[in-house]
Amino acid sequence: MTIEKTTTIDNISAVGDYKHIHVRERTDIVEDGNVLSSTYHRWVIAPGQNYSNEHADVQAMCQQFHTQEIIDSYNTMLAEQALENA
């Protein structure tokens, strides 16, 4: 009987007008090749946010979708929103 724990990034997607990167990490507990249980951890990376410590696949998505145009547009939206709420 061998029990092991595996962790993988199983879903990465760009969502919305500002291409927030949604990441899902799956952790499986496996016994003799059979998955006994799975848990998920999710997080979001906003345009302009530091992603240098992320998995290479996540970094590639950020590089593809977080263009300077998207980052500037997102920052403008945040600034306008802050003025409205002031």
Domain boundaries, the chain: 3-84
Distance CA 58, CA 39 (A): 19
Between CA 18 and CA 69 the distance in angstroms is 10
pLDDT at residue number 13: 98
Residues 6+ apart with CB under 8 A from 61: 12, 14, 21
Q: Tell me the pLDDT band of 1, cut-offs 50, 70 and 90.
A: confident
Q: How many CA atoms lie within 13 A of 6 on its CB side?
A: 14
Express each pLDDT in 5-60 by its tens digit: 999 999 999 999 999 999 999 999 999 989 999 999 999 999 999 999 999 999 99
pLDDT at 28: 98
Report pTM. 0.89
